Structure 1
Amino acid sequence: MPRHTDHDGRRRLIADAVCRLADERGLEGVTLRDVASCAGVSMGAVQRCFRTKEEMLVFALAHVGERLTGRVRDRPAPPTGRSARAALGHTLTEVSLSAEEHRAEARVWLAFVARAAVNPALAEVVRGAYSELRGLLARLIDEAAQPPCRRPEREADALLALADGLTVHVLLGRLSSEAASEILDDRLSSLCPPGAPPA
């Protein structure tokens, strides 16, 4: 058991190194040698954990996706009286990765998404992460929308696409984090108009 735990820990350590390098120079700048150096392990250790560079990238992408979906899925229970709309807003803010503290994660996620467009193994991981987020958002929309949303899954897809687009514009400096938050809030207000009874 300790050996297995150590192996898993080393794989996550290497995944974190991949993400740091991807943030600094993009995925094209990620080499096995640099990953080993960044993680503080030998090349042999990297090769024992991952048979190929693609396997390493797939694991690192899943690691990023798990952090994001985990933050959304494991969010604290809303305080008494907090509306489903507020919970939906919090979730969507997390998904958009536009906050300053998530800027590095946003750069890494988008680098992986761009690579996934031409890499089926990475695309499968991205689709899985989006599928889980879609389910979470659809459930919140079903609770929060006033009047009730007839197609919460379709609305969840629209919100995911909006969040992704806002992330790109914030990273490029075209929009500020504050402007992105206001756009998300406007969209949520169309789902849950001010003055509507809380869900």
Structure 2
Amino acid sequence: MGRVPKRVDHAERRELIVEALMRVAASGGLEAISLRHVAAEAGVTTGMVQHYFATKDDLMRFALHGIMERTTARVNAAMARLPQPLTPADTVRTLLTTLLPLDEERRADGRVGLAFLAYAAVEPSAAELLRDSTRQMAAFMADQIRAARAAGEASATVDAEAAGAGLLAAMEGLSIYVLGGYYTPETALRALDAHLTMIFTSRPA
């Protein structure tokens, strides 16, 4: 009887390659990325990387999707750990603090995220993906603020859309300052909480 060929898990291989790209980007920025460098980091051949991703841009777009999926999973896990049901204030704070680079894992992802922002400036498909993600996140926060307003847990005069956009911008700016070493994680968290208390009358957990 002949040997049974080993079954290849293509999804696992693609994930292995994307994780390698993220490590390369976290340590050296996107300028350090090439199919050869990613292959070396993943411990596979350049030919194998090219089998799944014909070009560097294909690899970058897939990696961006992977980062967004991983971030969504992290946020969902953080939400699930809190006492249920969540208030709108708890939901917004958990979302934003999970995205802040408050520990080494999130700092590594944050460095890659900044690199992808620069990449999106010259790659239209990546820019559109990031715009969609930003619009969805801002809309979600606006919905939570409206829900808090209806429940008497936010100022009746707060502009939900503007406040949601402002919170998102505050989180992004604080993230950049933490990654640059200008703010400590503790300072960033205090600043974010100060913004939240200007919107929500109930104190987030």
Q: Give the corresponding residue for 1:38.
A: 41
Deviations 1:89-111 (A, max 9, x none): 11111123344441100000011
The question of 1:85 aligning with 2:93 is answered no
SS in 1 for 2:9: helix
Conserved 8 A contact 1:142-1:148: no
User: Aligned-residue CA RMSD in angstroms?
Assistant: 2.4
Residue 194 of structure 1, CA deviation: 5.5
Bigger RCO (CA 8 Å, 6+ sep): 1
Normalized against structure 1, the TM-score is what?
0.87
| Residue matched to 2:125 | 121
Q: Distance in 1 between matches of 2:74 and 2:143?
A: 16
Deviates more, 1:70-79 or 1:172-181: 70-79
Q: Which residue of 2 is the match for residue 107 of structure 1?
A: 111
Give 1:1-199 correspondences, 5 Å limit: 6-73=9-76, 75-76=79-80, 78-80=82-84, 83-145=87-149, 146-148=154-156, 151-193=159-201
Secondary structure of the structure 2 residue equivalent to 1:34: helix
Distance change >3 Å, CA 141–CA 95, structure 1 → 2: farther
Q: Partners of 1:182 and 1:66 in 2: how far apart?
A: 27
Aligned residues: 194
1:148 shift after superposition: 4.0
Contact 2:101 2:178 survives alignment (8 Å): no
Corresponding residue number in structure 1 for 2:3: none
Q: Is the 8 A contact 1:135 1:153 kept in 2?
A: yes
Q: Which amino acid aligns with 1:83?
A: T
Q: Is the 8 A contact 1:170 1:177 kept in 2?
A: yes
Larger Rg: 2
Change over 3 Å in CA distance of 1:163–1:11 after alignment to 2: same
Alignment-mate amino acid for residue 163 of structure 2 = E
Structure 2 unaligned runs (5+)? 1-5
Find runs of 4+ consecutive structure 1 residues off by over 6 angstroms.
none
Shift of 1:77: 6.5
Q: Percent identity over the alignment?
A: 37
